[in-house]
Amino acid sequence: MNGTDRSRGFFKDVKRLIIKVGTAVVTRADGRLALGRLGALCEQIKDLNSLGYEVIVVTSGAVGLGRQRLKYRRLVNSSFADLQKPQVDFDGKACAAVGQNNLMALYDTLFSQLDVTSAQLLVTDSDFRDEGFRKQLDETVKSLLALRVIPIFNENDAVSTRRAPYEDSSGIFWDNDSLAALLALELKADLLVLLSDVEGLYSGPPSDPQSKLIHTYIKEIHQSEITFGDKSRVGRGGMTAKVKAAVNAAYAGIPVVITSGYAPENIMKVLQGERVWHSLSSRCAFVGLC
Ligand code: GLU
């Protein structure tokens, strides 16, 4: 089914939206930057910004990019004999600090080519326990949006006291999907878009031809039907994390869309109400788009 479906009424009232970009969208399979994909995303955000939408980005990719950069430096500085020895992995915190710089330099370069201004906001789980922090965050984001600046969030992994492998999901947030859902609530967003490396939520692993795209997820119906595949090849989350984050936001009344970060124009299509199978009710968590 193509075209606009009037039953997807939520898109008409969207003013403020949060777009979460995962590591699998920011980087290619070889770990290097997915420049074309990121460029296309920045162009979409520019268009949304020009149309008056308030766009907030949550981006992953710092750890992956930092690791890639440190690996490359080690490679060019190693002798053949050095390379025969087992290579120790780099500290994830150091990778985050190196990569965050890299990531933001890239967003800044791409956005400035499009005459868009962006700003970096790094947060940790423990920050959100402080009422004063939450209030300040809200005010800062409001003033950035009033200036038509795009706030770009990431977890401040370099100094966060949580350590890999981050299996603990008892915090206020525990990966960038749950951070994006938390920010959607804190900053009163009208829509949360989780960009993925697949088209949306499938009933089974996307590589399995039997798996079907679920267009509107209703926890009570679908929870027991879905078999999740592996977690993300690179990021902390994966579809299980996305569903959990999406359900939390949707239950608090914020529509959530999981869609492919590989297809240009998807976010705009969502906002134009394209490809709708089901209207969103308070029981519905999110829709996929293909
Ligand atoms: N904050 C991490 C990064 O920038 C990613 C966390 C996640 O994958 O959810 O690499």
Positive/negative CA dihedral, 262, 45, 12, 16: positive
Amino acid found at 247: V
- What is the pLDDT at residue 2? 41
Atom of ligand 1 minimally distant from the CA of 65: 10
CA-closest residue to ligand 1 atom 7: 236
What is the predicted pLDDT for the residue at 247?
81
**Both tokens assigned to 159:** 């100094």
**In the predicted model, what is the mean pLDDT of residues 276-284?**
35
Nearest-atom index, ligand 1, CA of 177 = 9
Per-residue pLDDT at 48 exceeds 90: yes
Render the burial of 224-243: b for 16+ CB within 10 Å, e for the rest.
Answer: eebeebeebebbbbbbbbbb
Q: What is the pLDDT of residues 2-19, one digit of tens each?
A: 444 444 566 778 999 999
Three-state SS at 287: strand
Minimum-distance ligand 1 atom for the alpha carbon of 63: 10
Determine the distance separating the centroid of ligand 1 and the alpha carbon of 175, expressed in angstroms.
6
Check residue 287 and give its pLDDT.
47
The share of the chain scoring above pLDDT 70, in percent, equals: 74
Which position has the token pair 């829709």?
A: 287
The pLDDT score that the predictor gives to residue 240 is: 74
* Contact (CB, 8 A) for 15 and 53: yes
The number of residues making up the chain comes to 290
Q: Is residue 147 part of a domain?
A: yes
CATH number, residue 109: 3.40.1160.10
**Ligand 1: nearest atom to the Cα of 175:** 9
DSSP per-residue letters across 100-141: HHHHHHHHHHHHHHTT--EEEEEE-GGGGG-HHHHHHHHHHH
- What residues pair up with 121 in beta bridges, in sequence order? 153
pLDDT band at residue 206 under the 50/70/90 scheme: low
Choose one of 25, 63, 69, 174 to mutate for the ligand 1 pocket test, by most ligand atoms within 8 angstroms of C-beta: 63
Instruction: Report which protein residue has its CA nearest ligand 1's atom 2.
Output: 60
Across-strand partners of 181?
A: none
Residue range(s) defining the domain that contains residue 219: 6-287
Please state, in angstroms and rounded to a whole number, the distance separating the CA atoms of residues 182 and 165. Answer: 21
Atom number, ligand 1, closest to the C-alpha of residue 234: 8
How far is ligand 1, taken at its centre, from the CA of residue 177, in Å?
9
Q: Which of 47-56, 111-120, 216-225 has the lowest mean pLDDT?
A: 216-225
Are 5 and 276 in contact by the 8 Å Cβ rule? The answer is yes
Task: Establish if 109 belongs to a structural domain.
Answer: yes
Residue 276: which pLDDT band, with cuts at 50, 70 and 90?
Answer: very low
Q: Is residue 80 part of a domain?
A: yes
Mean pLDDT along residues 43-55: 96
What residues flank ligand 1, with Cβ below 6 Å? Answer: 23, 60-64, 154-155, 157, 175-176, 235-237
| In a domain? residue 1 | no
Least confident piece of the model among 18-32, 148-162, 222-236 = 222-236
From the CA of 270, how far away is ligand 1's center (Å)? 25
Q: Is 75 within the bounds of a domain?
A: yes
Residue 152 lies in a domain: yes
Of residues 63 and 9, more confidently modeled: 63
Residue 135 falls inside a structural domain = yes
Q: Is the dihedral of CA 267, 271, 275, 278 positive or negative?
A: positive
Number of domains in the chain: 1
Give the chain's mean pLDDT: 82
Six token digits for residue 67: 């690791």
Distance 58 CA to ligand 1 centre (A): 10
Mean pLDDT over 17-44 rounds to: 92
- For the segment 181-202, the average pLDDT, to the nearest whole number, is 86
Query: Residues 148-154: what's their mean pLDDT?
Result: 98
